[in-house]
Amino acid sequence: MGLLDQAIGEFDRHMKVERNLSEHTRDAYLTDLRQFQTFLAETGLKSEPAAGMDEAIPVDPLVIRSFLASLYRGKYRKVTVSRKVAALRSFYRYLHREGKVSLNPAELVQLPRCEKYVPVVLSVDEMLALLRVNFPEDATGRRDRTMIELFYSAGIRLSELTGIDLGDIRSSEGLVKVRGKGRKERIVPVGRPALQALEAYLQKRPELRKEGADQDAENALFLSTRGKRMNPKGVARVVERVVRESGIGRKISPHALRHTFATHLLDAGADLRSIQEMLGHRSLSTTQKYTSVSVSRLMEIYDRSHPRAGGGKELR
């Protein structure tokens, strides 16, 4: 194993043990670092090491910029390039702290100005169409309905949904404990339809259990037909099928249901701080992106108030 391989492996353990990052985030960062490693091998680029430092790990910002230039030539989106820079910054920050490099070259690289991201959101009618899909009354059908209901009722992430354990459900209080980014726990409210779907699923859940299942499967709320904890890809396939059967004619990811939850709350008058708490956002600025898509209230106010919109007193 080369020194760079070893450093990446140690960084992976750091992300898992010390930073407690989710498996999804770790996989994304490792993919970015492996791509950088492949770029170095193909181009032969390296930099002069400082005294006592490792020559196998380049610390020249020009090397980082060359890597970014290759990404632009490959027509990567700016948001993807930004994430790869973030992965390199985090990797080199760890190496610098451990005394393996003399500086963090990625800190000196300017991030691209990303395109403004507008979340994909379903209308109320489209969301209701999803919830009206005819789910079978067997264990998998009730499970699938419950997952869709929870996405919309609680606004949780895909990884949060698959991570729910039986002990996290507090049905009598209408609450569910979820584990967000960095395994940070929060309590989210759940509406009555989702709780009813959950109760119906729990009656059938024993049919999905398998003899000799490991402890993780015994704890998991949502089980696959193989008796294992549902994984994100399996849930994404369920959402894709339900969207297709709903007839709304759009391709929707599980995360779009989270966006829909937040936008519909905002449309109904919920304040951003409350939505921030429910979504588990660290920063209010992350939640504010929903203001750009929540226009129904603005249009209603406009139609009611503007003199030339028909609702207000006409100017003469």
Active-site residue flag, 192 = no
Active-site residue flag, 24 = no
In the DSSP assignment, the letter for residue 137 is: S
Q: How far apart are CA 19 and CA 221, in angstroms?
A: 26
| Tokens linked to 76 | 């990567």
Q: Give me the catalytic one of 181, 186, 204, 244.
A: 181
Active-site residue flag, 306 = no
Q: How far apart are CA 193 and CA 296, in angstroms?
A: 25
Active-site residue flag, 281 = yes
Q: Give me the catalytic one of 29, 92, 152, 290.
A: 290
Q: Give me the catalytic one of 14, 145, 157, 259.
A: 157
Is residue 204 a contact partner of residue 223, using CB atoms and an 8 Å limit? no
Amino acid identity for residue 55 in this structure: E
Active-site residue flag, 170 = no
**Among 242, 150, 141, 133, which Cα is nearest to 191's?**
150
Active-site residue flag, 179 = no
Task: Specify burial of residue 80 (Cβ count, 10 A radius: 0-12, 13-18, 19+).
Answer: middle
Q: Give me the catalytic one of 14, 145, 258, 264.
A: 258
| Tokens linked to 297 | 């209230």
In the DSSP assignment, the letter for residue 280 is: T
Active site residues: 157, 181, 255, 258, 281, 290
